[in-house]
Chains A and B, each alone.
Chain A
Amino acid sequence: MIATTNRPASRREIVPATRSRARVSSIGARSFLLEAPGDFNLIAQRRIWALSRTVRGWDDLAENIPGMTNLLVIFKETPEDPDAVVARLLEAWENAQSIDLNGKTIKVPVHYGGEHATDLPALCDLSGLSDHEVVRIHHEATYRVFALGSAPGFGYLHGLDPRIYMPRKTVPSLKMSKGCVTIGGMQTGVAMLTGPNGWNSIGFATLEMFDPTAPNPAMMAPGDTVRFLPARIEL
């Protein structure tokens, strides 16, 4: 592993990428990303879920991937008129009614601290909180699965207390372990694979959350509620 300490940074540096109007940009020729305006919250995400449901009915759509208050749509073919696609997406966004997904509750036992909590000291420095306070703030919150992505079954969780926001690393850890409980900006989650990871680890969970041979390979689904239960605290 290489040095993973973050340069000292103020929490104020975490600025949402979007501010006022929904924005549509392209990634290559047949993928378009719509980013919701405004705050990073459940209200915006519920409209993203609604938009995802709307576009699923479009004949020319190949895939849609909900992200954190954004939606990537992939068309079957490169559109002849990309401006028309942008207009169609924006219109669908304007008409998207908020929906809630009634998910299940997943309880994740966590070993806070210990050898896998490689970034806990840096988070204490950044936040000015003690390690006990960081852990308590993290496990007392209730999280919602906003979206899945990045690794098979990895759930992006919303609900992190702003006091323990921590920017992604400028230099990722090269071999973070599967199971690390991590914070990336205003998001938190559990690493699904061992490998390079730019998020900050504060603990470890052993729950298996992905099985490629199962009818529903991913345990988490958008809308689910996640609680972290401190199985062990080693500080």
Chain B
Amino acid sequence: MIEILESGPFNTVQDLGRPGYRDIGVSASGAMDPLAVRIGNILVGNDENAAVIEVQTFPFSLRFESRTVFTVTGTDGNPHLNGSELIPWCAYVAEPGQVLELKQPPRLARAYISVGGGLDIPVVMGSRSTSLRGGFGGNAGRPLAKGDRIAVGEDLEIAMLPGLAVIEPAVALHEVFPAPVDGVLPIRALPAGEHGLFAGDGEAFWSQIWRISSRSDRTGYRLSGEPITPTATIEMRSHGVVPGVIQVPPGGEPIVQMSDANTAGGYPKIAGVIECDLWRLGQARIGARLKFVRSTHAEARAIEQAVTRYVEDVRLTSGMVKRALKAMA
């Protein structure tokens, strides 16, 4: 068991999501930074899709009730265990009664806590993710609150020695994920259905710097900037949408659908963020500046393949290291 000692209002249980039910209106949900979840779960010896805690409002702290392997990924801030500073992207063992504390990270938006064995939470419609809109899944369909106690699954690798760490994706994959330039994050996207309807404003969409507005959450990021408007008003027939779609409501300021994306929409779509760049948006904070860069299917494939190789490499290496440590123990 773990007990939540302190939490902000929007911290939830997430896994890699609940795809497959969009046709009955259920959002996939899942972590805003799925890459951090995959790596965190591998580090503690879990299936990649095990349930973790997504922390996006800080400070956050929890107490381990039994001996537990854990890691904090995604974040660029340092977690503390009973006051001792740890590094992120590294597995540790907590003893019963020890307290893990996460403070506001310096730049990034979200941290993920994975525990060996995963969070033992009922599966609803194929996933342990919290559906905040639907009020089900995760921790009784709601965010975590002080006093909540969550069961931890059986950890078959508890004997693992601590200290296993990885080079985080932003560093290991810096060639495929270009760093912000002058604080402006490049986000790659493909033109979508109604791009042509924006005429000259279509170019303004790609050339200007957008800021993530305070009216942003796990459902969508609203962007502030010079409004863009289509040349004609059309009433779209409702159609399926996925995370990454960039819709332009009548006010002219785009909305990027995120993990809790609506499953259907009707606003004109100017572009769609490629899936492998979504975690970078998920780690961008309110107020952050970004610029959309026109991409291609070929580029999206190349990035996906690089990410797959990296995750596979982490999995193989961590397996080898653990076996070697066990042999030496």
Q: Separation in Å of the A202 CB from the closest CB of chain B?
A: 18
A14 and B194 CA atoms in complex are apart in Å by 16
Question: Are B301's CB and A80's CB within 8 A?
Answer: yes
Which residues of A198-224 are within 8 A (CB) of B?
210, 212-213, 217-218
Among candidates B22, B269, B274, residue contacting A65 with C-beta atoms closer than 8 Å: B22
Point out the residues of chain B lying under 8 angstroms from A177, CB to CB. Answer: none
Point out the residues of chain A lying under 8 angstroms from B25, CB to CB. Answer: 148-154, 192, 210, 218
Question: Are A27's CB and B238's CB within 8 A?
Answer: no
Total contacts A-B at CB 8 Å: 179
Among candidates A15, A26, A64, A148, residue contacting B234 with C-beta atoms closer than 8 Å: A15
Among candidates A25, A150, A186, residue contacting B263 with C-beta atoms closer than 8 Å: A150
Question: Are B19's CB and A16's CB within 8 A?
Answer: no
Question: Are B235's CB and A67's CB within 8 A?
Answer: no
Question: Are B242's CB and A27's CB within 8 A?
Answer: yes
Binary B-proximity of A158-173 (CB < 8 A = 1, otherwise 0): 0000000001101100
Question: Are A170's CB and B23's CB within 8 A?
Answer: no
Question: Are B304's CB and A77's CB within 8 A?
Answer: yes
Question: Are B300's CB and A78's CB within 8 A?
Answer: yes
Q: Separation in Å of the B141 CB from the closest CB of chain A?
A: 8
Among candidates B133, B239, B251, residue contacting A72 with C-beta atoms closer than 8 Å: B239
A72 and B134 CA atoms in complex are apart in Å by 22
Selected interface stretch from A28-36, A106-114, A227-235 = A28-36
B266 interfacial by beta-carbon distance below 8 Å? yes
Q: Separation in Å of the A146 CB from the closest CB of chain B?
A: 9
Question: Are B301's CB and A149's CB within 8 A?
Answer: no
Question: Are A150's CB and B238's CB within 8 A?
Answer: yes
Question: Are B236's CB and A17's CB within 8 A?
Answer: yes
Among candidates B22, B239, B304, residue contacting A68 with C-beta atoms closer than 8 Å: B239
B137 interfacial by beta-carbon distance below 8 Å? yes
Q: Separation in Å of the A188 CB from the closest CB of chain B?
A: 12
Point out the residues of chain B lying under 8 angstroms from A89, CB to CB. Answer: none
A27 and B189 CA atoms in complex are apart in Å by 9
Among candidates A13, A27, A154, residue contacting B245 with C-beta atoms closer than 8 Å: A27
Q: Separation in Å of the B94 CB from the closest CB of chain A?
A: 33
B240 interfacial by beta-carbon distance below 8 Å? yes
A27 and B267 CA atoms in complex are apart in Å by 13
Point out the residues of chain B lying under 8 angstroms from A31, CB to CB. Answer: 240, 242, 272
Majority-rule SS of A interface residues: loop
Question: Are B264's CB and A150's CB within 8 A?
Answer: yes
Contact flag A212-B251 (CB < 8 Å), given A63-B20, A192-B25: no
Point out the residues of chain A lying under 8 angstroms from B245, CB to CB. Answer: 27-28
Question: Are A13's CB and B235's CB within 8 A?
Answer: yes
B250 interfacial by beta-carbon distance below 8 Å? yes
Question: Are B262's CB and A27's CB within 8 A?
Answer: no
Contact flag A78-B24 (CB < 8 Å), given A150-B263, A213-B124: no
Which residues of B289-306 are within 8 A (CB) of A?
295, 297-298, 300-301, 304
A100 and B212 CA atoms in complex are apart in Å by 45
Binary A-proximity of B18-36 (CB < 8 A = 1, otherwise 0): 0111111110000000000
A82 and B238 CA atoms in complex are apart in Å by 23
Name A's B-contacting residues (CB within 8 A): 13-18, 23, 25-31, 33, 35, 40, 62-72, 74, 77-80, 82, 147-154, 156, 167-168, 170-171, 184-187, 192-193, 195, 210, 212-213, 217-218
A-B contact pairs, 18 of them (CB 8 A): A17-B236, A17-B237, A28-B242, A28-B274, A28-B275, A40-B237, A66-B240, A67-B240, A72-B22, A78-B274, A78-B301, A149-B238, A150-B264, A168-B266, A210-B134, A212-B26, A212-B125, A217-B125
Given A29-B301, A147-B23; 6 other pairs, CB 8 A cutoff: A16-B235, A65-B22, A78-B301, A151-B134, A156-B264, A218-B25
